[in-house]
Amino acid sequence: MKKVKHWKWIIGSLLIIILFVYGMSLYYKSHNTKTGFRTAAVTRDNIQETVTATGTLQAVTQISVGSQISGRIQDIYVDYNSKVKKGQLIALIDPRNYESALTQAKATLASAQADEKSAEASLESAKADVAQVQASILSSQADAQKAKAQLDNSLKTLNRYKQLREKDLVSQSEMDGVQTDYESYQASYDASKAQISSVKAQLTASKAKVRSAEIQILSAKASISHAKAALDQAQLNLSYTRIVAPVNGTIISKEVEVGQTVAASLSAPTLFIIAEDLSKMQVMASIDEADVGKVSEQQKTSFTVDAYSDKSFKGVVRQVRFEPVTTSNVVTYQGIIEVDNPNLELRPGMTANITFIVAERDNVMRVPNSALRFKMEKDAAKAESTRSSKDTTDSNNTKKESQIYILKGNDVATPVQVSTGITDGSYTEIVSGDLQEGDNVILGYSTSSSSNSSQKTSNPLTSSGRPPR
């Protein structure tokens, strides 16, 4: 008996639980049903289609001022934000070593020039010796000719005396005297020839001195050229100790302090960075590869920076570079945007949040984007199957065919075919279609509570049902 009562209690409890769950289900369905639509009015306003990107502000012309020589910074005449003029002295490297090198180069040049003058004097002396020796040769040749004539005459006399002696017409002593005269003339002639040979040897030596002096002059000239080059380099190095501004501009970076040593052995160290004109700046924008096709030269842009988050700045695209930049497998392209900065509010290095204005339409009808996404439940499956045929795009990729629903009298949802244009992400332009300003387009279904289960609801964004501007 007790066992029967136990089962009855269990079965009763199960029935109570089932009835409770069923009752709660009915209660939920009766208090959360689709009984109306959310709507918004068709409005007329301006609309822009945009592309966003980020970038960094830079001066249009930014010049790094370096040092071509090594040395210790002796003086600095500018600081951050200093205005400088082209050619203005902004820093000085200790010039003493370079002044000493310049003095040495001048002394080397003077020595080379003195060597040249000495070589020129030696050349003149050697040329004079050559002329003198050539004159001696002529004199010796004249003497030799005279001695030859005397020798020839003496030989004739000797031969005549020999004939006379054979006939015993002259004495032996006279014959011996003539023989002695002949031999004397022969010796004089031989001495004249020897003299000519000696003088010719002197001429060869003198000409060798001339060539040696000419070589000395060429060597001295080469030394002078080398010394002049060394002098020019020393003067140039000394001028490099004066660091001057290459352009008019503003000092935006100072990398050195007085007393610091700079080493320019491998590359020119940067001392200052000068922005030429901060009233004209540029933004280096990183444009995503998916958006770069919508950005072109001379396109208008606007951007904000964190320093002036409530202010928008204007710019114009000057260049979109073809070179890709890949970072963490993300491909971007660099765009250059020209920006006017008359009040110097913008500073190099600021991060810009850029909006590229792809297209603009003024005073056009527009609807919220959610109206284009809404489909009646009975039409949803059909719309999905025919989406590819309805959402066609014209050659300019700006016009699409879509279907929206407007709410007419007696809460009747009527489909309307429209052609859409550009979108700003929240609203879409209506290019054509049976739609009038003020028509209520359906954004979606509304749900009612137990107190207003049959009441139609309007756009929750505003009390009038009109989307906020």
DSSP secondary structure string, 224-272? HHHHHHHHHHHHHHHHHTEEE-SSSEEEEEE---TT-EE--SSSPPEEE
Q: DSSP character for 344?
A: -
Residue 227 lies in a domain: yes
Q: Are residues 269 and 196 in the same domain?
A: no
- Segment 364-411, tens digit of pLDDT: 889 898 888 888 766 554 544 444 434 444 434 456 788 888 887 667
Cβ atoms of 65 and 271 within 8 Å: the answer is yes
Any idea what the CATH number is for the domain that residue 325 is in?
2.40.30.170
> Residue 302: its pLDDT value, please?
92
- In a domain, residue 296? The reply is yes
Residue 167: what pLDDT? 79
Asked if 303 and 213 sit in the same domain, the reply is: no
- The reply to whether 269 and 314 lie within a common domain is no
Is position 294 within any domain? Answer: yes
Specify whether 101 is located in the same domain as 201.
yes
Burial 99-129 (b: 16+ CB within 10 A, else e): eebbeebeebbeebbebbeebeebbeebbeb
Q: Give the pLDDT score at 91.
A: 95
- Note whether residue 366 is domain-resident: no
* Whether 275 contacts 344, CB under 8 Å: no
Q: Is residue 435 in some structural domain?
A: no
**Residue 264, Cβ neighbours under 10 Å: how many?**
15
* Domain identity same for 154 and 165: yes
Q: Are residues 288 and 214 in the same domain?
A: no
Q: pLDDT-derived band of residue 174, with 50, 70 and 90 as boundaries?
A: confident
pLDDT bin (cut points 50, 70, 90) of residue 321 is very high
Are 117 and 207 in the same domain? yes
H/E element, 177: helix 172-240
Q: What is the CATH number of the domain that holds 187?
A: 1.10.287
Q: Are residues 178 and 106 part of one domain?
A: yes
71 in Cβ contact with 93 (< 8 Å): yes
Give the tokens for residue 52.
């966003």
Mean pLDDT of the chain: 81
pTM: 0.58
Return the percentage of the chain with pLDDT > 90, whole number.
36
| pLDDT tens string 28-65 | 554 444 457 888 888 898 888 888 999 999 999 889 99
Does some domain include residue 78?
yes
The total number of structural domains in the chain stands at 3
* 291: containing domain: 51-60+276-361
Beta carbons of 441 and 39 less than 8 angstroms apart: yes
Clarify whether residues 203 and 214 are in a common domain: yes
The verdict on 132 and 234 lying in the same domain is: yes
> Are residue 105 and residue 233 in the same domain, yes or no?
yes
Please tell me the distance from the alpha carbon of residue 106 to that of residue 96, in angstroms, as a whole number.
Answer: 15
Question: Same domain, yes or no, for 231 and 284?
Answer: no
Spatial neighbors of 178 by CB under 8 A, at least 6 apart, are: 154, 157, 158, 161
Please give the residue that has the higher pLDDT: either 126 or 9. Answer: 126
Q: What percent of the chain stands above pLDDT 70?
A: 84
Instruction: Return the closest-CA partner of residue 375 out of 412, 402, 401, 398.
Output: 402
Residue type, 338: E
pLDDT of residue 444: 85
How many of the other CB atoms lie within 10 Å of CB of 77? 12
Of 361, 383, 415, which residue sits at a domain end?
361
List, in order, residues 6 or more apart from 198 with CB less than 8 Å away: none
So what's the pLDDT on residue 395?
38
Q: Which of 112-121, 193-202, 290-299 holds the top average pLDDT?
A: 290-299
197-207 average pLDDT score: 78
Give me 391's structure tokens: 């959402």
Evaluate whether residue 395 is within a structural domain.
Answer: no
For residue 20, the one-letter residue type is F
